[in-house]
Amino acid sequence: MPNSFAMNGESPRIPHLAKPGSELYDLRDDVDDAFERAEVATVKVSMTAAEVKALAATPKELVAAPGADLILELIGLTLRLVAGSEVLAEAGDNLTVKYKDGSGVAATGAIEMTGFIDQAANINITALPIVALTTDAQGVNQALVLHNIGSEFTGNASDDAVLEAYVSYKRHNLA
């Protein structure tokens, strides 16, 4: 049977209108031609204590700019603090993921650091994206960065704390 499929995870072929002078064709062929399939990728980015303490002045690149006609879609973020000999300190400072740099459009809301960055034991926090309305200049071919939207963190005099960011994202071709 031409459009049957087995229960092996394969999706059925979907017949659509005939092209002039041809037989029925599969609508998915048009969809595949029109859109690049975007797959979720996850990267791990580790930051030293010095980099964490400088996130307000120097945002940390999480995902590099993808190239012309490409835009990144943030799917989610998990931050893991690997605690050091002394705790990091914050005073109302929060993190966010942004496009491009510290002045870019936010891809997450404020990620609360009280009760996270100031812990003496390893700890994790997750963040989900928000609706990020960007012009092409603000979003296309722009990196995703982690930015401290307050004043710099202090503490951890031994500079042995580590912040790990696990970033899940999709890359879309807008061409």
Chain segment 73-90, per-residue pLDDT in tens: 999 999 999 999 999 999
Cα separation of 67 and 141, whole Å? Answer: 5
| Distance separating alpha carbons of residues 114 and 131, to the nearest angstrom | 24
Model confidence at 6: pLDDT above 50 = no
Q: Is 23's pLDDT higher than 60? A: no
Q: What is the pLDDT of residue 3?
A: 44
Residues 141, 151: Cα–Cα separation, whole Å: 28
pLDDT score, position 29: 52
Nearest to 134 by CA among 169, 109, 105, 110: 105
**pLDDT > 60? residue 8:** no
Domains with residue ranges and CATH for the chain: 1-34 (no CATH), 37-173 (2.60.120)
Residue 92's pLDDT band (cuts 50, 70, 90): confident
Q: What share of the chain has pLDDT > 90, as a percent? A: 76
Residue with tokens 């996270």: 116
If we measure between CA atoms, which residue out of 124, 122, 65, 69 comes closest to residue 98? 65
Among 2-16, 20-34, 137-151, the range of highest mean pLDDT:
137-151
> What does pTM read for this prediction?
0.79
- pLDDT cut 70: percent of the chain above it: 78
Please check the confidence at residue 20 and state whether its pLDDT lies above 50: yes
